[in-house]
Structure 1
Amino acid sequence: MNFEQARFNMVEQQVRPWEVLDFGVLDLLMSVRREEFVPEAYKSLALSEGLIPLGHGASMLVPVIEGKILQAVQVKRSDKVLEVGAGSGYFAALLAAKADWVRTVDIEPALVNMAHDNLKRYGVENVIVEEGDAVCGWPGSAPYDLIVVSGGVPQIPESLLQQVKVGGRLFAFVGEAPLMTAQLVTCVAEGEYRTESLFENLVPMMRNAPRKSQFTF
C-alpha cells in the first residue's frame, strides 16, 4: 500500500474539506505516520475515514476530528499538556510534536501498553504514558496549559477545570448519545472560564465519566 499517497488523500479529501485550513495542522497530519499507531489488523485502513477499534470499547478518533481538535487548541511549544485517554498513542504524538511535553493517561492497562510501545517505537521522547483514571483530573503535574479529553463526558468536571492554568485551554466532547458538542474552554482568570461550542459529533463515552450528581467540587 502507498501510505504516502493515502496520507495526502486523507489530508486533502477528508480533513481540509471540513474547514481544517491551518497549514501547521495539515503539515503535522502529513508528517506523523498514523499507520504506525494502528493495530496490525487495521493498518490498511489507517488513513481512511472509518473508525478503527482498539479493543476494550475504545477506538481512534477519525482523522477529520483529530484535525479539528488540533486547529481549535492551537498547541504552543511551551505547553504542558494532559491528554485524558491515551488510546493508541497517535494523538499524543501529534500533541507532542508541537508541545513541550505531554502526559497521557488511560484507565485500560492494555491501551497504556499499546500507547507506550507505539510512542517508543516511533521515537517520541516527550510523552509520559500513565495508567489511571484522569477524567476528573491528574494532579501530579497540574496545572496544565492544555487538557484534551479524547472521549465523551456528560459535563466537564469542575475538578478537571481547576487544573487548567489561567490562559490555558481544555477541549472535551460534552453531552451524551445521540449527540455531543465539542467544546473549547479557556481559563480567562482564576475560577473564570469562557466556553466555545465548536461542532457536533458522537464519540465513545469516557469510562467512569461522572454523571452530574456525582461531580466533586
Structure 2
Amino acid sequence: MHGRLHMVEKQIAGRGIRDPALLNAMRLIPRENFVEKGFEMFAYNDCPLPIGKGQTISQPYMVALMIEAAEVKPSDTVLEIGAGLGYATAILSRMAAHVFAVERHASLAAGATERLQRLGYDNIDLRCGDGSKGWPKAAPFDAILVSAAALEVPQALKEQLTVGGRLVIPVGPEESRQTLLKIVRKGSDNFTTQNLGAVIFVPLISEHGGTEDYN
C-alpha cells in the first residue's frame, strides 16, 4: 500500500494529474496483481513492465495521462483497446458506469478476466478480438482509450464515439516515435484533434494478425 500511495503522490499527482476520481482509483487498484509473475516487486516503479506475449503494462503516469485526457465521468460507457492484464481496465471501472475491453491475445484476455473477476470488478465486459474494429454491438462510447499504436486512426473507433465522445490513441509507425492524439467527436462527421505529445507503444494489430472478428 505504501508503494502505491507513493507512486500516486510522486509519479502521478507530482506530474500534474489532477482528476480526483482518477487519483483515488489509482490509490485503490493493486497494480502488483496486474503484472507478470516475478515482477510484483517492481509494480510501482516509474516504468513499463512485461506482461507476456511481447506486451507491456504501461508506465503508471502514461496510464494516468491517457485516462485524464479521456475525461471519464461516472455515467460514461468506456471502451478500452489493448487491455493487457487489466490494470487500466480496473482503474476505468472505478470511474465509469461500464467498461468494455478488447485484448487481441487470448492468454492475456483470459488472465485479465480472471484477475478482474477475482478482485470484484463487476462492471466490465472483456473479449479477445481485433481492437481496431472496436465493439460495434456495445457502441456508442463516451470515451475510447487505445493502448497500442495505429498507423492511422481506425475509422471504426471514430464512428463508435458518441457526439462529445473522446478517443485517446497513439498514432505512428512501430519503428519510430509516435504521437498521442485526443480526438473529440463534435458532430456526425466533425472531429477535432489535439496532439498530446510523443509516445512509444507496441503496435495495434488488426484482423491481419489473425485475431477474432465480431460485429
Same fold (TM over 0.5): yes
1:24 corresponding residue in structure 2: 21
Partner amino acid, structure 1, of 2:201: V
Which residue pairs with 1:75 in the alignment?
72
The equivalent residue for 2:180 is 182
Distance 1:52 1:41 in 2: 11
Structure 2 residue matching 1:205: 3-state secondary structure:
coil
List, as ranges, runs of 4+ consecutive aligned residues in structure 1 with deviation greater than 4 Å.
none
The percentage of aligned residue pairs carrying the same residue is 31
- After the TM superposition, which residues 140-151 of structure 1 pair with which residues of structure 2 at under 5 Å, given as runs? 140-151=137-148
The aligned amino acid for 1:131 is C
Does structure 1 retain, via aligned residues, the 8 Å contact 2:130–2:207? no
Q: Root-mean-square deviation (CA), in Å? A: 1.5
Q: Offset at 1:83?
A: 0.8
Q: 1:116 aligns with which of 113, 116, 126?
A: 113
Q: Using a 3 Å threshold, how does the CA distance of structure 1 residues 209 and 16 change in structure 2: closer, same or farther?
A: farther
Counterparts of 1:44 and 1:153, CA distance in 2: 31
SS in 2 for 1:41: coil
My pick for the range that moved more, 136-145 or 183-192, is: 136-145
From 29, 35, 40, the equivalent of 1:38 is: 35
Contact kept in structure 2, 1:37 and 1:88, CA below 8 Å: yes
Q: How many residues align?
A: 207
In structure 2, runs of 5+ residues without a counterpart are 209-215
Shift of residue 209, structure 1, vs aligned partner: 8.0
Instruction: Give the AA of the match of 1:66.
Output: V
Q: Gaps spanning 5+ residues in structure 1: where?
A: 211-217
Q: Tell me if the contact between 1:153 and 1:209 (Cα under 8 Å) persists in the aligned partners.
A: no
Distance in 2 (alpha carbons) for counterparts of 1:204 and 1:98: 25
| Residue 100 of structure 1: how far off its partner (Å) | 1.0
For residues 207 and 179 of structure 2, the distance between their equivalents in structure 1, rounded to whole angstroms, comes to 16
Distance in 2 of aligned mates of 1:9 and 1:128: 31
Q: Bigger shift: 117-126 or 43-52?
A: 43-52
- Is the aligned partner of 1:61 residue 2:23? no
Q: CA separation in 1, counterparts of 2:110 and 2:194?
A: 34
**1:136 has 2:166 as partner:** no
Normalising by structure 2, report the TM-score. Answer: 0.91
Report what 1:215 is aligned to. Answer: none
Aligned AA for 1:161? K
Q: Which residue number in structure 1 is paired with residue 205 of structure 2?
A: 207
Q: Tell me how far 1:136 sits from its aligned partner.
A: 2.6
Cα distance between partner residues in 2 of 1:133 and 1:183: 20
Say if 2:31 and 2:43, in contact at 8 Å, map to a contact too: yes
